[in-house]
Amino acid sequence: MAKPKFPKSLEEQNENSCRIRSNAFVSAWRTTQKSFVPEEIEFAQDQRILDFFDDRPIYGIGTVEYFRGKLNIITEDDPQSHKQALAIISLPTSDLELFYGLECVKHIDKVCVSVNKYVLWTPSNKDDVIEDYDTALLEFIKTIFPNRHIEHVYVKGLKGHHFNFASPTTQFFITNENN
């Protein structure tokens, strides 16, 4: 049996940039799927984001284009100067990229991290990560946002019916409240 050849992008990299990639495909796919319903609709995961934030500026990273006209999204500036942040991970992202991508918003008071869990990847097996993926994701987010209140919303047994590739259904709503 031939061994698979792996691309360079799958090799272990130590990137340290406050960035999560984005592209237009995800927005187009949201528009296409929304057009399947004749009336005006919002995906439940999008509505949760809209409900979570207030009018103050929101530092946005990743695939946040859809929310530019609906929320006060800012993508320039120093993230630390803002009290709210939205990170949407919809494109292939390694565990390391995710970690460093969220580093720059970890001290912000109110953060929503929305992740398409299908597009994450790790370059090598990690024995210390627990088996249940949803719980492992929560633990991962807790390491970046320790001692914070985290509301974890996800679809158990997520398959292809919940528009996850247009707007991620795994969401973490992070605040400073300890209740």
Partner 1 sequence: MKIIESYKDFELTAESKKKLYAEMHIVEYLDNITKRLPAGKSVWIDSNGDATNTNIVAFEDEKWKEIFDPSLPIKFYRYFNSPTLVQAINKYIKPTAVVIHQSEEFKYLTPDELQYKIEFMVDSYPTKIFIYVDLHLIDFNKLKYSYKHIIESVVTQNTIIHNLDDFKYLLEIN
How do 58-62 and 73-74 pair as beta strands?
A: parallel
6 lies in the binding site for partner 1 (CB under 8 A): yes
Q: Which is nearer to partner 1, 53 or 140 (CB)?
A: 140
Single out the residue of 16, 23, 81, 122 in contact with partner 1 (rule: CB under 8 A): 122
How far is the C-alpha of 55 from the C-alpha of 73, rounded, in Å? 10
Tell how strand 110-115 and strand 84-89 pair up.
parallel
Question: 79 vs 56, 95, 130, CA distance in Å?
Answer: 13, 21, 31
Residue (139 or 177) nearer to partner 1, CB: 139
Q: What is the DSSP letter of 94?
A: E
Residue among 102, 137, 144, 174 that touches partner 1 (CB under 8 A): 137
Chain residues in the site for partner 1 (CB under 8 A): 1-7, 9-10, 29, 32, 35-37, 39-44, 47, 92, 95, 117-126, 129-133, 136-137, 140, 158-163
